[in-house]
A and B are shown apart, each in its own frame.
Chain A
């Protein structure tokens, strides 16, 4: 079962902040985040592996609450280049899905000048 992302879409002005959430019904080993611009390949942003872990990448950071089976992606002081569709990919805990990611349906982020 695929993770659920929210919101489905968000529109921002440059400089505003956004949060994208990813929730799973299963216990998770890891969460990956990717960004895909229209007509292009997805690009890796970050992996979160442990409960409560937070990582950063420029002005984009993420957290992973293992207990709640959720991850959130934080985009601060958004730039025009942040526009695109953001996907979370989750790997189930338990070992039977070793290396296998299940992706959410995506969140479309649009940043206006």
Chain B
């Protein structure tokens, strides 16, 4: 079955530590996205990539980094510079930019 796989489902970060959230898709989609969702709020775009080896900052990119070396993979690193990382992180993909986005099941990140 085609879909988007995010791992891990739950992640705990210590102070000063970088952590990486995985996002893999087997839908052959060109575009991929990372969103952050805080309780009772909408989705805020962190980074997006329209094609392999290219990505753009979203609205809240500070303290995060990404790479897009393969079409199917778009990992997100939450760096120690992100002072308030506790949130639900959602990865999405679409066939092309501007097409419907399909979401993974999310990773819930908490601070230890």
Contacts and interface: CB of A to CB of B under 8 A. Distances in A.
Interface string B29-71: 0010001000011111100101000001011000000000000
B82 to A, nearest CB: 20
Contacts of A99: 31, 48, 50, 94, 96-98
A9 to B, nearest CB: 11
Interface string A67-91: 0000000000000000000010101
Contacts of B90: 41-42
Interface in A48-106: 87, 89, 91, 98-106
A103 B58 contact: no
A91 B41 contact: no
B100 A42 contact: no
Contacts of A43: 103
Contacts of B103: 41-43
Given A40-B105, A41-B105, A44-B102, A106 B41 contact: yes
Interface of B: 31, 35, 40-45, 48, 50, 56, 58-59, 90, 94, 96-106
Given A32-B100, A47-B99, A100-B56, 8 more contacts: A47-B100, A99-B48, A100-B45, A100-B48, A101-B45, A102-B45, A103-B44, A105-B42
Interface of A: 2, 29-30, 32, 34, 40-44, 47, 87, 89, 91, 98-106
